Amino acid sequence: MAAATLLCPRPARSQTYPDRPITLVIPFAPGGGTDVLARILAPVLAEKLGGTIVIETVSGAAGNMGSARTARSNPDGTTLLLHNVGFAINAALYRTLPFESERDLLPVAFVSDSPLVILGRKTIPADTLPELIAWMKSSPTPATLAHAGVGSASHFAIVPLATAAGKADMIPYRGGGPAMQDVIGGHADLTATPLQAAVGPASEGLAKAFAVTSAERAPMMPTVPSLADALGPKSLTNFWSLLLTRAGTPQAITDRLRAALEAALVEPQLLDAFAKAGVTVSAKQYRSEAGAKALLHQEIEHWREVVRENRIEAP
Q: Which stretches does DSSP call E strand in the chain?
A: 22-26, 53-57, 79-84, 105-113, 116-121, 144-147, 169-172, 190-194, 207-212, 241-246, 280-281
Residue 13 has what pLDDT? 58
Pick the range with the lowest mean pLDDT from 22-26, 136-140, 155-159, 311-315: 311-315
CA–CA distances in Å: residue 84 to residues 16, 87, 124, 229: 30, 6, 29, 25
Give span(s): CATH 3.40.190.150, the chain. 20-114+240-310
**Which H or E run contains 157?**
helix 153-165
Condensed to tens digits (0 to 9), the pLDDT of residues 142-161 reads 999 999 888 788 999 999 99
238 and 85 Cβ atoms separated by less than 8 Å:
yes
Domain 20-114+240-310 fold is D-Maltodextrin-Binding Protein; domain 2 (3.40.190)
Residue 4 has what pLDDT? 40
pLDDT band at 3 (very low <50, low <70, confident <90, very high): very low
Provide the residue type at 281 as one letter.
V
Please give the average per-residue pLDDT across 297-315, as a whole number.
90
Q: pLDDT at residue 8 above 70?
A: no
Q: What distance in Å separates the CA atoms of residue 291 and residue 283, rounded to the nearest whole number?
A: 10
Nearest to 249 by CA among 81, 10, 97: 81
Q: What is the CATH number of domain 116-235?
A: 3.40.190.10
Condensed to tens digits (0 to 9), the pLDDT of residues 27-85 reads 988 877 889 899 999 999 999 999 999 999 999 888 899 999 999 999 999 999 999 99
Q: What distance in Å separates the CA atoms of residue 48 and residue 107, rounded to the nearest whole number?
A: 19
Q: What distance in Å separates the CA atoms of residue 26 and residue 34, rounded to the nearest whole number?
A: 7
Give span(s): CATH 3.40.190.10, the chain. 116-235
pLDDT band at 310 (very low <50, low <70, confident <90, very high): confident
Q: pLDDT at residue 11 above 80?
A: no
Residue 298 has what pLDDT? 96
- Residues in contact with 176: Cβ distance below 8 Å, sequence separation at least 6, in sequence order: 28, 29, 31, 32, 33, 34, 147, 148, 152, 153, 154, 191, 193, 194, 197
Q: What distance in Å separates the CA atoms of residue 120 and residue 168, rounded to the nearest whole number?
A: 14
Condensed to tens digits (0 to 9), the pLDDT of residues 159-201 reads 999 999 999 999 999 888 899 999 999 999 999 998 978 989 9
- Residues in contact with 162: Cβ distance below 8 Å, sequence separation at least 6, in sequence order: 145, 168, 170
Residue 309 has what pLDDT? 85
What is the torsional sign of CA 34, 239, 72, 11? positive
Condensed to tens digits (0 to 9), the pLDDT of residues 102-134 reads 999 999 999 999 999 999 999 999 999 999 999
Nearest to 173 by CA among 199, 194, 155: 155
Peptide bond into 18 cis (omega under 30): yes
Condensed to tens digits (0 to 9), the pLDDT of residues 198-228 reads 989 999 999 999 999 999 999 899 999 999 9
Q: What distance in Å separates the CA atoms of residue 310 and residue 252, rounded to the nearest whole number?
A: 42
Q: What distance in Å separates the CA atoms of residue 156 and residue 36, rounded to the nearest whole number?
A: 20
Return the number of other C-beta atoms located less than 10 Å from residue 204's C-beta. 10
CA angle 73, 79, 80 (to 5 degrees): 125
Whole-model pTM over 0.75 = yes
